[in-house]
Structure 1
């Protein structure tokens, strides 16, 4: 339909009884659609039609009805349909959505979400005391859900999660034990758990990997530990034995010789003779639960006794990673393999120059500078070109 200038007009604009203007346009399926909003001015409605027509020409137009699904419903479907998610990951995603996302945004249709709304949601989380780390995790999960809505399901045109820095977390740097502290901490443990401290630390093991070790995984002659599986704690289900966290998690790790005597003693005193006997268990022979281990060994008192108050059990793996990264000739790939990581991102953290070395370098440089300043200069004085000084006298 041509307008007054003789150009074809896409769609039409009509004035509503409220005084606002509504845009209507033909959809690709032949139906007539009304705009998803009304406008205070007719010119605004006409610009809206121009935008819709351009989207259709570029094949970027998305049926608004497709995006009317609520975020809460779509996010639940997203989790259900994700392939190969570990049970613990499913539980974590559902908990994060239910705790930090859907109470605020769950009832909103996908196509009504915009960046200012996401920014306000994140601001509210932080104002209510949610940590920066937790807010970043919730933001990344929401962004992943909405990215699927954009790229795979084509329910919305753009992802509204476009807040710079919202996906970044800056957790406090975790403590690292010295080697003497590691052995001192092992001595603070009940006898049946001393080897656990050494194996987790020097093997860079995760908790679930350590408690899933079986006799057949330990070779005390070669001094190696084979990681084939891991336990995952899942509320309502219990302990689930499955593959490690990633494909790279299946690995064989060499332990330092200093850790082997205690490990051999442990294998002889506390591990059954069957190849499938678990290596680290409770006094009753049951699988260890991470949730009650601290009380079982009086962890807080033990770490305080070795001068590491506040140390978490997972910091033992962190200590092992740090020690591995300092080994002469250890490459990024070597560290990744030992840690059981597919991505180099985590391994790179341990390749940064440690503080002690950096301070040592700075101190050596400072001494060199001071020594140079104390030495008298042996350079000949420069000749002057303005008639003063030695140059003038020589003339």
Structure 2
């Protein structure tokens, strides 16, 4: 269901009153299996998007909803969703549905999505040997797509709800990995020594990775949020987190808003990290062309995902500590605060969680001292 810019014979864009001319085309199959195409033109990008949605709605009217296939619903759903979510979120949805739903159910009509068909789909997913977390992600994306079909009145109810989510009663919960302060000290010491050797050989660039890991541990930020940090985001002893960068999309880096509304936040910088940032800024200012708008970790362009992973392995190996994922540095931050009895609301604020329930669900088991305090209070009540 594409939108095309229209050009003249010389290849020059056609415009009217300063607005680009667009052709909007919708392909669909009617209830008898016959192919159709709706083709309209309009001026302006926003008008083209609105026209596209109007044509999709007209297809809904012309085509009996119960004869729509899962594959057709998938195409329409992605078109509608792309105007509502971040590009990285859309890519995740597209990847999951195109790999785990469409290949199995593409030609199935919506009115044929009964319990036997969906149970068979679940068995297909089970046979792939995926983790329970991944299976539940697949179920969630499929459920959301069918909820869209209900909203559009293509079907009356979501049949996937009757089947239920994937369950793994015998699968043990994986232990959360994180660095203790002692382990992080060993890791970051190895990182600093590596960067000092690089600087002695004439390169300052590796300090970007040292600063990245310091920021991840002391601030608990998501890696995309760290990539997007610019020197202008530091105001005194605070960092303002207002954007994120995704490197996994096709093409160039994408600067997007953070994960949710609560992820836009201003948080205080601990003194050790202030010292790290000040020294890093001094190093960067020694380079030609320094500007405040440059990225803190990288300069003109943020450091790369793959190299961050490589440095993580290198530093953990040199420090003789376990290797954790990049996201586990965020867990390390939260775990440290939780074990020191910091209020769960403050942990949630620093992490940028949308609600405290998310923080509790993830980190409640890291509050052992709270249970000790509770039993101490009860022990003090004498009979």
Give the structure-2-normalised TM-score: 0.70
- State the partner residue of 2:135: 135
**In structure 1, what is the equivalent of residue 50 of structure 2?**
none
The count of aligned residue pairs is 301
What does residue 246 of structure 2 align with?
232
3-state SS of paired residue (1:238) = coil
Residue 359 of structure 1, CA deviation: 9.0
- 1:330 pairs, out of 305, 324, 343, with 343
Q: Give the Cα–Cα distance (whole angstroms) in 1 for the partners of residues 261 and 339 of structure 2.
A: 25
CA distance 1:167–1:90, shift in 2 (3 Å): farther
Give 1:212's aligned residue.
Answer: 228
Instruction: Report the Cα distance in structure 2 between the residues aligned to 1:167 and 1:223, rounded to whole angstroms.
Output: 46
- Equivalent in the alignment of 1:71: 70
- The answer to whether the Cα contact below 8 Å between 1:325 and 1:350 also exists between their aligned partners in 2 is no
Residues 220-369 of structure 1 mapped to structure 2, 5 A cutoff: 222-270=236-284, 273-281=290-298, 286-295=301-310, 297=311, 299-332=312-345, 334-354=346-366, 357=369
Q: CA RMSD in A?
A: 3.3
Q: Is the 8 A contact 1:229 1:242 kept in 2?
A: yes
SS in 2 for 1:159: coil
Unmatched 5+ residue regions in structure 2?
1-61, 196-206
The structure-2 alpha-carbon separation of the partners of 1:291 and 1:114, relative to structure 1 and needing over 3 Å to count, comes to farther
CA distance in 1 between counterparts of 2:270 and 2:339 reads 14
The answer on whether the counterparts of 2:104 and 2:121 sit within 8 Å (CA) in structure 1 is yes
Corresponding residue for 1:15? none
2:214 to 176, 191, 198: 198
Seen in structure 2, the aligned counterparts of structure 1 residues 230 and 167 have a Cα distance that, compared at 3 Å, is farther
Match of 2:152 in 1: 153
Whole-angstrom distance in 2 between the partners of 1:103 and 1:210: 37
Task: Please tell me whether the aligned partners of residues 247 and 254 of structure 2 are also in contact (alpha carbons under 8 angstroms).
Answer: yes
CA distance in 1, matches of 2:323, 2:117: 38
Provide the C-alpha distance between the structure 2 equivalents of 1:73 and 1:120, rounded to a whole number of angstroms: 20
Are 2:220 and 2:350, in contact at CA under 8 Å, matched by a contact in 1? Answer: yes
Matches of 1:260 and 1:167, distance apart in 2: 46
Structure whose alpha-carbon radius of gyration is higher: 1
For 2:373 and 2:344, the matched residues in 1 are separated by: 22
For residues 97-108 of structure 1, the aligned pairs below 5 Å read 97-108=97-108
Deviation at residue 196 of structure 1 after TM alignment: 1.6
How many Å apart are 1:234 and its aligned residue? Answer: 4.0
Q: 1:362 Cα shift?
A: 11
Q: TM-score, normalised by structure 1?
A: 0.68
* CA contact 1:321–1:350 (8 Å) conserved in 2: no
Work out whether residues 182 and 197 of structure 1, in 8 Å CA contact, stay in contact via their aligned partners in 2.
Answer: no
Task: Tell me the SS of whatever aligns to 2:324.
Answer: coil
What's the CA shift for 1:165? 4.0
Change (3 A) 1:181 1:275: same
Any gaps of 5 or more consecutive residues in structure 1?
A: 1-62, 369-395
SS of 1:253's equivalent? Answer: strand
| CA distance in structure 1 between the aligned counterparts of 2:262 and 2:323, rounded to whole angstroms | 30
The Cα of 1:242 is off from its aligned counterpart by: 2.2
Q: CA deviation at 1:323?
A: 2.3
Query: Cα distance 1:264–1:148, how it changes in 2: closer, same or farther (>3 A)?
Result: same
Q: Distance in 2 between matches of 1:107 and 1:139?
A: 19
